[in-house]
Structure 1
């Protein structure tokens, strides 16, 4: 059982299975007015349900884009439907992490996640602006992952929430969807954001997902405020800050242990502080006032990122 109570109902997304663009669980909505191709994606991981609630609500609401094209998608549905309340974190994926396969789409190999990524690839590559809706294993403040490029940080600032914008290069184990193609090209105008809305099962994560999605849709011209449910947008924070990740630490054999529990966005005052050990190798902070981004306080598989370290810039 999960240590966190599940504070909402999981949506039934089977009405959206057929899609309308030749691919299951993908809906492409066209406006008669010119504008960008805007994509909102949910269920990159099958147990990250706040995004599914939002995309399901947009489809049920009958939202039509004011300008351009709006793509609404559910990614790893196979993982989502495998949910078991006795093993709730197992439904993150089926065979492998959907958000690490995007550098291998043209290489040999087969898995549930690779097949699904190949299906979604034409839509991801068509999008000019992408919002990927995620949530987190542990309790943590919301985080906007803007990628390594300034264009992502600029878009995150224009969205205006949450407080923390994370500038990072992703994971050693594979490319994320938000970094695929033009999104990861500094010379391309395409931009993607990945929002971590909070802990998977908290009702607050749904509120964050609704707020960020509404602001993203209005900012990109896909919608006007009156097109969206009235209670979705929350009060903006007084300011945002950017945390630039300099180190992403992955466990070699899955044997990492922290010296003590850390919460996301904890700041460790002194350089050289031992955070934990990966087998016998100590992992230490590289500088003073080191921000710990999404530390994994639970056991993870070999090769998985267990903490990212950054500084406020």
Structure 2
């Protein structure tokens, strides 16, 4: 964890990478900032490498293995999860970081995706997250959701999601793991995130044409035999209500409305894991 302080007063902002040890585009961007000697003009910038123990296990021969050591770190971000048994490498790290992260005013959490997909920003459950994502302005798709059944993500932390807190957070899904395109997207999003924190004014929204989608259904696999009818990319728009998109054992999964957006389909969904999120796009607007 690196804490960089500027000469002028300002917010405490943070960029986090390596929540999952095999998603290292964000770590490259943070390491580049450190090598360049970047110092914020205002306030404090924290660059945090979250799960170095998982990253230390990375091997090109089995790149999926290093996602975590004991359990998914991005399902543990509340006090109960961090302190409960069984104890794990990830719970110990969350417990270590929680007090510090609770001092952050704005946070961008950097991720990538296993399957080919266009990039997006997950704004979490609050409009505060949407406002921050709109200010960053890239990528152009912003998804509003309430996370996973398995547990809370970093952006779901009460410090960021509670309506009485001014703190904001969002999560970048930069595209497919280990691609140059994902690295470039991460660089652009981090650059924009840092630039909006360098001004004394209130956060200014990007002038890009953005698309905001509200998740209405979180589809969780109830069996070990969840299969999609085809390899839908994340961001696929299914035009007709009632379209069959997957089967979960004997159950059919169909779209609940016209123009249904599929968010991050998981083609290896284990039982009780999120298989896909279904979202409705808000009317487009220039912001």
TM-score (norm 2): 0.92
Q: Which residue of 2 aligns with 1:312?
A: 281
Contact 1:39 1:131 in 2 (8 A): yes
Gaps of 5+ in 1: 1-25, 224-235
Q: Secondary structure of the equivalent of 1:194?
A: strand
From 209, 214, 222, the counterpart of 1:239 = 209
Alignment pair present for 1:115 and 2:92: yes
Alignment pair present for 1:36 and 2:5: no
Q: Which residue of 2 aligns with 1:139?
A: 116
Q: Which residue of 1 aligns with 2:269?
A: 300
Residues in 1 aligned to 2:273 and 2:21: alpha-carbon distance in whole angstroms:
17
1:147-204 per-residue CA deviation (whole Å, 9 max, x = no partner) reads: 1211111111111111101111111110001111221101211000100011001101
Q: Which residue of 2 aligns with 1:196?
A: 173
Q: Which residue of 2 aligns with 1:152?
A: 129
Contact 1:65 1:222 in 2 (8 A): no
How many residue pairs end up in the alignment? 275
How far apart are 1:99 and its partner, in Å?
0.3
Contact 1:162 1:237 in 2 (8 A): no
Greater shift after overlay, 172-181 or 246-255? 246-255
How far apart are 1:100 and its partner, in Å?
0.3
Alignment pair present for 1:82 and 2:52: no
Q: In 2 relative to 1, CA 125–194 (structure 1 residues): closer, same or farther, beyond 3 Å?
A: same
From 258, 263, 283, the counterpart of 1:288 = 258
Cα-Cα RMSD: 1.6
Contact 1:68 1:222 in 2 (8 A): no
Q: Which residue of 1 aligns with 2:162?
A: 185
Q: Secondary structure of the equivalent of 1:178?
A: helix
Residues in 1 aligned to 2:197 and 2:47: alpha-carbon distance in whole angstroms:
14
Q: In 2 relative to 1, CA 179–222 (structure 1 residues): closer, same or farther, beyond 3 Å?
A: farther
Q: Secondary structure of the equivalent of 1:182?
A: helix
More strand by share: 2
Q: Which residue of 2 aligns with 1:264?
A: 234
Gaps of 5+ in 2: 201-205, 283-287
1:17-96 to structure 2, matched below 5 A, reads 26-96=1-71
Residues in 1 aligned to 2:213 and 2:176: alpha-carbon distance in whole angstroms:
20
Greater shift after overlay, 236-245 or 209-218? 236-245
Contact 1:292 1:309 in 2 (8 A): yes
